C-alpha cells in the first residue's frame, strides 16, 4: 500500500513531521514573519536571528501538513549559518526543484532538501513545500508581517 507515494513521503519527511526541528518561539528574534496558505489553512510563524547579513538562528511555530511541516523544519536547519545571499540562492534552487523547471539542480547545495523533490509530481502539494521558503524570502526582504501563497 502507498507504494506510489514513496517519492513524496520519504522517511525523512515523516521524521521531521513527527519531530520538527527548531519548533519554538524565539523571544529575541530580529525578524518574525507569518506565512499562510489560505487554500489549506496552513499557518506558520518564522523567527530569524541575524548577525549582520548572516542568519545565526532560525525557528518556527505553526501547524500544517506533513510536507509543509517537514519543509519548514528542514529549512530552519539548513539556513543556519548562511548569509542572506546564500539563503536566497537556496530558495531559488528549491523553487526550481519543486516546480520542475530545472533539471540540473545543484544537489550538493540543496542537500537534505532533495527529499522534497517528489512534490513536483503533485501540483496540488507544491505550495505545501514552498510556503516556508516564501516566508523566509519575505523575512529576508524584511517585508511586512504576513505573507500568503495566494
Asked whether position 66 contacts another protein by CB under 8 A, the answer is yes
Burial of residue 144 (number of CB atoms within 10 Å: 0-12, 13-18, 19+)? exposed
12 interacts with another protein by CB under 8 A: no
Q: Is 20 in the site for another protein (CB under 8 A)?
A: no
Applying CB under 8 A, which part among 44-52, 59-67, 75-83, 102-110 lies near another protein?
A: 59-67
Among 29, 44, 46, 67, binds another protein (CB under 8 A): 67
Decide: is 144 part of the binding site for another protein (CB under 8 A). no
Burial of 108 (0-12, 13-18, 19+ CB in 10 A): exposed
Which listed residue (53, 63, 142, 145) binds another protein by CB under 8 A? Answer: 63
Q: 123: helix, coil or strand?
A: helix
Closest to 71 in 3D by CA, of 124, 110, 107, 102: 110
* Residue recorded with cell 530569524: 48
| Site string (117-136) toward another protein, x via CB under 8 A | -----x-xx--x--------
Residue 65 is placed in which grid cell?
501538513
Q: Which residues pair with 44 in a beta bridge?
A: 35, 62
Stretch that binds another protein, among 6-14, 79-87, 105-113, 135-143 (CB under 8 A): 6-14
Give residues in contact with another protein (CB under 8 A): 1-2, 4-5, 8-9, 14, 17-18, 39-43, 63-67, 122, 124-125, 128
Amino acid at each position: 500500500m502507498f507504494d506510489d507515494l514513496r517519492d513524496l513521503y520519504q522517511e525523512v519527511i515523516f521524521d521531521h513531521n513527527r519531530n520538527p526541528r527548531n519548533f519554538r518561539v524565539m523571544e529575541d528574534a530580529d525578524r518574525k514573519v507569518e506565512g499562510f496558505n489560505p487554500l489549506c489553512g496552513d499557518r506558520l510563524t518564522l523567527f530569524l536571528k541575524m548577525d549582520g547579513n548572516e542568519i545565526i538562528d532560525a525557528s518556527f511555530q505553526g501547524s500544517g501538513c506533513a510536507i509543509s511541516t517537514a519543509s519548514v523544519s528542514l529549512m530552519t536547519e539548513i539556513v543556519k549559518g548562511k548569509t542572506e545571499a546564500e539563503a536566497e540562492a537556496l530558495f531559488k534552487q528549491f523553487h526550481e526543484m519543486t516546480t520542475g523547471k530545472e533539471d540540473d539542480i545543484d544537489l550538493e547545495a540543496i542537500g537534505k532538501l532533495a527529499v522534497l523533490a517528489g512534490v513536483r509530481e503533485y501540483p496540488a502539494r507544491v505550495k505545501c513545500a514552498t510556503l516556508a521558503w516564501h516566508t523566509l524570502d519575505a523575512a529576508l526582504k524584511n517585508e511586512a508581517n504576513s505573507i500568503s501563497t495566494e
